[in-house]
Amino acid sequence: MPRPVPSRLGSLLLAAAGGVALWAAFPRLSWWPLAYLGVALLLLALRRDSAWWGWLVGFVAGLAFFLPLLRWADEAVGEPIGWVALSVAEAAAVGVFGAAWVIARRVPWVARRPWLQAVLAAVVWVAVEQLRGRWPFGGFPWGLLAFSQADAPVVRLAAWGGTPLVSGVVVLVGALLAAALVSLRRARVGAGAGALVVAGALAVGPALVPLGTRAEAGTLRLGAVQGNVPTQGAEAMSQARAVAANHAAGTVALAERAGRGALDLVVWPESASDIDPRTDPDVAAVVDRAAAAVDAPLLLGTQRFFTDTRYNDYLLWQPGVGAGPAYTKQHPVPFGEYIPYRDFFRTFTSAVDLVSLDMAAGTGPGVLAVPVARLGRDVPVAVGICFEVAYDDLIADGVRRGGELIVVPTNNASFGRSAEAEQQLAISRFRAVEHGRTVVQVSTVGVSGIVGPDGTPVASTGLFTAEEMTAAVPLRTSLTWAARLGGWPAAVVQLVAAAAVLAGLVAGRGRRGRGPAAGFDDGETRGDGGTHGAPDGGGTPGTRGARDGRPAPARSGR
């Protein structure tokens, strides 16, 4: 009969192939259907009943996924230790998923039902995604499977359940593909075909989900300026005045093309003026001339410096008035914008001192009120600076506080010509659908983009170019279910996953020596000629492992 589970080498090869497929689903390739295939390959590799082996298989898949996905981290640091360390940490989380799913499916009621194992795989995966997005050091939610689906039908589910729902459906589709393959190998055509039909319906059916795109509070005539940097990869502060001048020049060009007073708001990126115009008169004059040229308020990124810390601000500037309120970044990037436990990590690499002054976190809400003369009112703008767009809670909070559009200012100059900016734009597109808002991602060097409330790109720029964008965008006030529910879906999933793993641990203790079935086994193969193997899944058909090393007699069928 066919081997019930892959060999150990085969499992690792399947896991690595699955990880590569997951990576290919993300930009720059953006072959989103491969996310389903990647999950299926990983789950087939996890069919052995061994938690430690499940962790190793998941870790291998995670390395194959995150090493190419996060290659841009090497560009930013200039040496591979940061890229490798970040990839290893994220891969370890995939290992946790592997071990947790193996344990959770040991519950007898689950072990006998492949469809329930598929659902449980989705629950456990989402729980681990949410955990690594929050811990350690505030988490790093880059690479959530949901962010690979910006062009897929399932992205429309984002409006109903955010990243937990979309990632969960991706995993469920992949799990059903894996279950179908197992059934078909056993010549159980009905079960296999049924799983394929359900998987197809889940993958394609969301295309019918309607999305709101009409203006609910008027339209905003918006301009965005990508000024570029004089020297690619140079230290930011060494060219800060030139970068500010570039964005001012782009704004003047925008005014000449669109006409003075034709725009309601112009947005600049993060680090558009790293020399604070609130304290530097020369930079203030440059910014004010640009604002006067378009006769519209500006939003621009700058920094506040103190003796022992700094803050990353996004500032409102009105022509003839000057600086107004600012949003301060709440999620500085660990090891990128600040170094936790600096003395400890310096023992591994001196690269920690590339961050010479740690960035501190802001505490204010992620929304700015922008006065728009044509509308006769202030327009609330939700803001998430750079990597903050990947954090579910921060963007949702800005929308719930009244944000009628979302602005994501970012500085991608340190990442070279890698796929980082395109990955970030895919996240911005997801956020547009999730909250039913126009999203403007504006970068110093690209890729910048204006995205409609349904995730459709309205305008975009190239990489390391000086460009401007304009669009009349709808302002929206209604809240999607994803915004209303907030963190509840993630919390519920984590509780269910924890309960399932705990139940699996209890069931595993009661089943010692009886050899739980492999993943997606429905129990019908047990008994004479069944799949009982030792606890690591390596037993032979018709036997069950004994704790004293002696073969035990085969059990009769149920």
227, 347: one domain = yes
In a domain, 266, yes or no: yes
Q: Considering the chain, what is the average pLDDT of its residues?
A: 91
Which among 198, 555, 252, 220 is positioned nearest to 404, based on CA atoms?
220
What's the pLDDT tens digit per position in 100-128?
A: 999 999 999 999 999 999 999 999 999 99
pLDDT confidence of residue 336 = 84
What's the pLDDT tens digit per position in 188-223?
A: 999 999 999 999 999 999 999 999 999 999 999 999
Give the span between the Cα atoms of 91 and 60, in whole angstroms.
Answer: 7
Note the pTM of the prediction, 2 decimals.
Answer: 0.91
pLDDT confidence of residue 4 = 67
Mean pLDDT of 176-185: 96
pLDDT confidence of residue 237 = 60
Give the span between the Cα atoms of 138 and 393, in whole angstroms.
Answer: 12
pLDDT confidence of residue 531 = 41
159, 253: one domain = no
Using the predicted structure, report yes or no on whether residue 552 has a pLDDT greater than 90. no
pLDDT confidence of residue 517 = 59
Give the span between the Cα atoms of 450 and 263, in whole angstroms.
Answer: 15
pLDDT confidence of residue 516 = 53
pLDDT confidence of residue 548 = 43
Given pLDDT bands bounded at 50, 70 and 90, which one contains residue 472? Answer: very high
In a domain, 180, yes or no: yes
Given pLDDT bands bounded at 50, 70 and 90, which one contains residue 452? Answer: very high
In a domain, 492, yes or no: no
Which among 268, 212, 219 is positioned nearest to 379, based on CA atoms?
219
Cβ atoms of 501 and 484 within 8 Å: the answer is no
Give the span between the Cα atoms of 533 and 127, in whole angstroms.
Answer: 29
Give the span between the Cα atoms of 23 and 21, in whole angstroms.
Answer: 5
In a domain, 532, yes or no: no
305, 252: one domain = yes
Using the predicted structure, report yes or no on whether residue 527 has a pLDDT greater than 80. no
60, 174: one domain = yes
Which of the residues are catalytic? 270, 329, 386
DSSP strand pairing (265-267 vs 298-305): parallel
Q: Tell me, what DSSP letter sits at residue 207?
A: G
In a domain, 428, yes or no: yes
In a domain, 482, yes or no: no
198, 268: one domain = no
What's the pLDDT tens digit per position in 29-64?
A: 999 999 999 999 999 999 999 999 999 999 999 999
Q: Tokens standing for 200?
A: 């197809």
Which helix or strand (DSSP H or E) is residue 316 part of? Answer: strand 310-318
Domain that holds residue 60: 8-210+497-510
Tally of domains within the chain: 2
Instruction: Return the percentage of the chain with pLDDT > 90, whole number.
Output: 81
188, 296: one domain = no
Please tell me the least confidently modeled range out of 282-291, 295-304, 517-526. 517-526
Give the span between the Cα atoms of 312 and 357, in whole angstroms.
Answer: 12
348, 414: one domain = yes
Cβ atoms of 114 and 183 within 8 Å: the answer is yes
199, 278: one domain = no
136, 56: one domain = yes
Using the predicted structure, report yes or no on whether residue 538 has a pLDDT greater than 70. no
In a domain, 488, yes or no: no
- Whole-number Cα distances in Å, 291 to 201, 266, 267, 323: 51, 8, 10, 11
Please tell me the least confidently modeled range out of 275-284, 289-298, 333-342, 368-377. 333-342
In a domain, 538, yes or no: no
Q: Tokens standing for 180?
A: 């179908």
Q: Which residues contact 208 (CB under 8 A, 6 or more apart)?
A: none
Give the span between the Cα atoms of 215 and 213, in whole angstroms.
Answer: 7
Q: What CATH code is carried by the domain that includes residue 288?
A: 3.60.110.10
50, 169: one domain = yes
Give the span between the Cα atoms of 464 and 435, in whole angstroms.
Answer: 30
pLDDT confidence of residue 512 = 58
193, 230: one domain = no
174, 238: one domain = no
Given pLDDT bands bounded at 50, 70 and 90, which one contains residue 78? Answer: confident
